[in-house]
Amino acid sequence: MNATLIGQLVLPSFAIVVAVVSFNLGKRKTTSPILVSILGFFLGLVPPLALIYLVVLVLKNDIVEPDNDYSRRNV
């Protein structure tokens, strides 16, 4: 098998994996997971940047969901 062909198959696959992982992390850690996923896909085309991006997302604090009055009541 040609090494170029393998590279052309692995790089888009890696970008898709990074996009999916970014979306899952983005749901917990940001208010715009789709934007985070798109950015993760494009950074997935440059693997070192993608890994740095994922590390930053993992280390980011989770967002706090606002409390509502219904959750405090004992109904």
What is the end-to-end Cα distance of the chain in Å, rounded? 66
pLDDT of residue 64: 84
User: Residue 58 pLDDT more than 70?
Assistant: yes
58 in Cβ contact with 26 (< 8 Å): no
User: Residue 74 pLDDT more than 60?
Assistant: no
Structure tokens at 33: 């997971």
Q: What is the distance between the alpha carbons of residues 12 and 44, in angstroms, rounded to a whole number?
A: 8
| Tens digits of residue pLDDT in 3-39 | 888 888 899 999 999 999 999 999 999 999 999 999 9
Closest to 57 measured CA to CA, from 67, 69, 49: 49
